[in-house]
């Protein structure tokens, strides 16, 4: 039975309306995967390791036999798992039961699972070159040189909220902090949300860039002026340099210190003294011994505004060089008003 293979662009287009199955091991999937993929591992991590060792030190035939021993008892359960996944995915309903399948290189693992599923009656499409080819598709996005607009402003200016407002007004917005599940500063991870790995962050970023370009064409995408590092994750250096060093339109939200301090206290002041103190200690070398000691003392006394006043001055002092020539006087203006104002001035 001939198996249909397509390249990454077509495969991802099909993934919008078809169930996508990643047959790599659980560890490979956990490290990073195509965002819409469901895990259907042909081998466990231990089985994959043992088969790889056999291939390297014995022979290809010995490895295949080990693989068949592991695959055989799983056949029925894999088919039933796929049936269950399709039943729980209403947007895949409608009569077309075509499945998308991939492994690491598009080799024996995906071919074996495709054979089983086709034998059972499912049409199957394979990813040419496997996940490795998908990663090349992801990396190709770092050379994107299309239109962007940068939203700038000191810490606490409400840049993220304004980006969300622009999105609600129908503008293309690439929310880097949302993709990273981190708000950027030493305090950005206090919400306890799980963070993607670097590789998964890159996958999510490329897919969102691709989606925005498909939906909005060449319309400028709004992004926030970030440092290259968001929590433990890094914006790909090619993209970062283009966004922050090229001559792209940029807008600076000029909000007075006191208003920014109020925003920061509202956003972070409800966290426990222990959580806030631990975040302060993460930047103690840069903050300095005296400022660190004073900030921790204010936190211990429950003087949250005083503590965040020190921290906000620290972030202002170490803020990266702004590229924005267009300043928006934001004092007293609501997020909705700022969104409308930016939309008018940038058009």
Sequence spans of domains, the chain: 4-139, 145-346
CATH class of the region 4-139: alpha beta
Contacts of 172 (CB under 8 A, 6+ apart): 212, 215, 216, 219, 220, 221, 222
Predicted structure pTM score: 0.92
Per-residue pLDDT of 51-91, as tens digits, reads 999 988 999 899 999 989 999 999 999 999 999 998 887 55
103 is known as an active-site residue: yes
Q: Exactly one of 12, 32, 103, 206 is catalytic; which is it? A: 103
Per-residue pLDDT of 236-281, as tens digits, reads 999 999 998 888 999 999 999 999 999 999 988 888 999 999 989 9
d(CA 51, CA 233): 33
- Structure tokens given for 160: 């993220």
Q: What CATH topology corresponds to 145-346?
A: Rossmann fold (3.40.50)
Q: What are phi and psi of 44, to 5 degrees?
A: -70, 170
The pLDDT of residue 93 is 54
Burial of 20 (0-12, 13-18, 19+ CB in 10 A): buried
What is the distance of C-alpha 144 from the center of its chain?
17
Contact, 347 vs 270, CB < 8 A?
no
- pLDDT-wise least confident of 4-8, 127-131, 227-231, 337-341: 227-231
């Amino acid at each position: 039975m001939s198996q249909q293979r397509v390249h990454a662009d077509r495969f991802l287009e099909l993934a919008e309306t078809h169930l996508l199955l990643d047959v790599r091991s659980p560890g490979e999937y956990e490290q990073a995967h195509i965002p819409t993929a469901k895990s259907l591992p042909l081998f466990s991590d231990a089985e994959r390791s043992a088969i790889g060792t056999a291939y390297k030190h014995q022979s290809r035939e010995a490895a295949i036999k080990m693989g068949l021993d592991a695959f055989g008892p799983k056949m029925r359960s894999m088919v039933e798992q796929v049936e269950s996944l399709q039943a729980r995915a209403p947007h895949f309903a409608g009569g077309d039961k075509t499945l998308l399948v991939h492994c690491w290189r598009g080799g024996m693992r995906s071919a074996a699972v495709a054979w089983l599923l086709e034998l059972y009656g499912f049409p199957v499409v394979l990813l040419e070159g496997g996940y490795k080819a998908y990663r090349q598709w992801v990396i190709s996005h770092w050379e994107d040189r299309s239109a962007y607009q940068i939203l700038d402003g000191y810490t606490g200016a409400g840049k993220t909220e304004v980006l969300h407002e622009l999105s609600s007004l129908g503008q293309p917005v690439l929310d880097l902090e949302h993709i990273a599940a981190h708000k950027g500063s030493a305090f950005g991870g206090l919400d306890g949300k799980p963070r993607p790995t670097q590789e998964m962050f890159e996958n999510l970023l490329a897919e969102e860039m691709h989606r925005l370009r498909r939906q909005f064409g060449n319309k400028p995408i709004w992004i926030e002026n970030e440092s290259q590092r968001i929590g433990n994750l890094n914006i790909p250096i090619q993209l970062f340099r283009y966004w922050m060093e090229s001559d792209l339109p940029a807008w600076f939200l000029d909000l007075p210190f006191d208003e920014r301090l109020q925003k920061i206290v509202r956003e972070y002041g409800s966290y426990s003294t222990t959580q806030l103190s631990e975040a302060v200690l993460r930047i103690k070398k840069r903050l300095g011994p005296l400022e660190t000691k004073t900030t921790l003392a204010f936190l211990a006394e429950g003087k949250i505004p005083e503590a965040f006043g020190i921290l906000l001055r620290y972030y202002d002092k170490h803020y990266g060089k702004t590229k924005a020539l267009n300043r928006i006087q934001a004092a007293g203006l609501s997020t909705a008003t700022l969104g409308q104002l930016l939309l008018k001035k940038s058009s």
